[in-house]
Amino acid sequence: MKGPFNITDDNLKIVYSDNKNFKNLWSKFLKAYDQYSYKYVIDVLDYYLLISNKAINRSFLIQNHEEVLAICPLIIEKVKNSWQGSIYGGKDFLPIALFNKKLTLKQKNHIENILFKEIKDNFNKSEVKKAFFQADCISISLKDIYDTFLDKERALDISTIHHIVDLNLNEDQLWKQIRHSSKAIINKGLKLFDFKVFDSSNFQDELGETHRKMHHSLAGKVTRPIESFKKMSDWVKKGCAIFIQQSYKKQVAQLIYVAIGGKSAAGASVVENLNLKSPIPMTHSLNFFIYKEVKKRGVEYYDVGLTSYRSSLFNHLSKKEIDINHFKRGFGERNSPLRLWIWFEDHSEEILYIKEKLKFYEKN
């Protein structure tokens, strides 16, 4: 096949996560890919395995004798009594496969076909009836985000929106993208609160333990395995996250892990001190501090997260979640597409799923 790579069916190789060279090949691909969500980082995928009740890691990559041509995060987990492609008991979606940017369109289409056949072979072996995938505008360009193999494979599109803060802007331009009503709170917060940043050079396990205990207190229960909290501490030690402590009058107010991908970052887990009485909201200034901090570390885009305006058949939001989304839309001036899909084994599975969702939606 003509193009920058010599691709034949004979020289393509599929490499799974149990291969001794897998991590190095995956990381080398991401380094060349340059801009991507933290969700593709190996240590984050390991974390996803920990937060599932029962999960199988079938992530793989496709290479020829020259380079890695595609990477495919693939976690199959047991939810209730059946297996599906998803994360965290079905609460989150699998990041879509990434393809070598040097592939020609014809070569990419060829690799997409091979990759999705491999995905379906894995689904067949585990009797997977449905799978949930996502694509963000950090990892997939706007030019390509509406032309993916999942669209071609007729997966059900249930897309929504998220906000991405462009940190390439200077501080004055960034300030203009903040909601007017938040600016006074941010200015007061930057004076009132103390902020301390921890990375691989100064992070200590005690900080992670404090976060874990605050998380349990905030949730009122243990929501995920203890090992998953230790894994987040490992992110900081390995350089794929930073940890920020916000304090008020020498008391811890909030703690947050900020996960870092390729030229991008996102808040991964934030906790607050329920016993602290703050005179103003704390998160406005914390967010703005994070933007400035990660920008200094070479981050160009910060994913604020889901910012949809309302519930839908496929994405139920509580009043609290709708209010949080409104708050998040105050950082950055525009929405970006967050592509979401559900792949079904057959039409009957899709109808069954939609009926279940409709029943819930009618009640809520």
The pLDDT tens digits for 239-274 are 999 999 999 999 999 999 999 999 999 999 999 999
Confidence of residue 363 (pLDDT cuts 50, 70, 90): confident
SS3 332: coil
Residues 191 and 134 in one domain: no
Residues 173 and 286 in one domain: yes
Q: pLDDT (tens digit, 9 = 90+) per residue, 8-65?
A: 778 899 999 999 999 999 999 999 999 999 999 999 999 999 999 899 999 999 999 8
Q: Nearest-5° angle of CA 178, CA 183, CA 189?
A: 120
Domain termination site, one of 249, 283, 299:
299
Answer yes or no: is pLDDT of 114 > 90: yes
Q: CA–CA separation, 138 vs 239, rounded Å?
A: 20
pLDDT at 301: 96
pLDDT at 3: 62
Answer yes or no: is pLDDT of 139 > 60: yes
Does an H or E element contain 344, and which?
strand 335-344
Residues 29 and 108 in one domain: yes
pTM: 0.94
- The tokens for 276 are 């602290």
Residues 23 and 100 in one domain: yes
- The tokens for 284 are 């406005």
Q: CA–CA separation, 30 vs 13, rounded Å?
A: 18
Residues 218 and 157 in one domain: no
pLDDT at 332: 83
Residues 205 and 147 in one domain: no
pLDDT at 1: 55
**Domain region containing 75:** 13-161+338-363
Domain termination site, one of 284, 299, 314:
299
Q: Who contacts 148 (Cβ-Cβ below 8 Å, separation ≥6)? A: 96, 135, 140, 339
Residues 145 and 254 in one domain: no
Q: pLDDT (tens digit, 9 = 90+) per residue, 291-313?
A: 999 999 999 999 999 999 999 99
Confidence of residue 223 (pLDDT cuts 50, 70, 90): confident
Answer yes or no: is pLDDT of 343 > 70: yes
Answer yes or no: is pLDDT of 288 > 80: yes
Q: For residue 150, what is the domain's CATH number?
A: 3.40.630.30
Residue 289 inside a domain? The answer is: yes
pLDDT at 222: 85
Residues 179 and 69 in one domain: no
Instruction: Look at the chain and report how many structural domains it folds into.
Output: 2
Answer yes or no: is pLDDT of 7 > 90: no
* C-alpha distance from residue 203 to each of 56, 237, 239 (Å): 31, 7, 10
Confidence of residue 219 (pLDDT cuts 50, 70, 90): confident
Question: Mean pLDDT across the stretch 116-130?
Answer: 96
Residues 135 and 182 in one domain: no
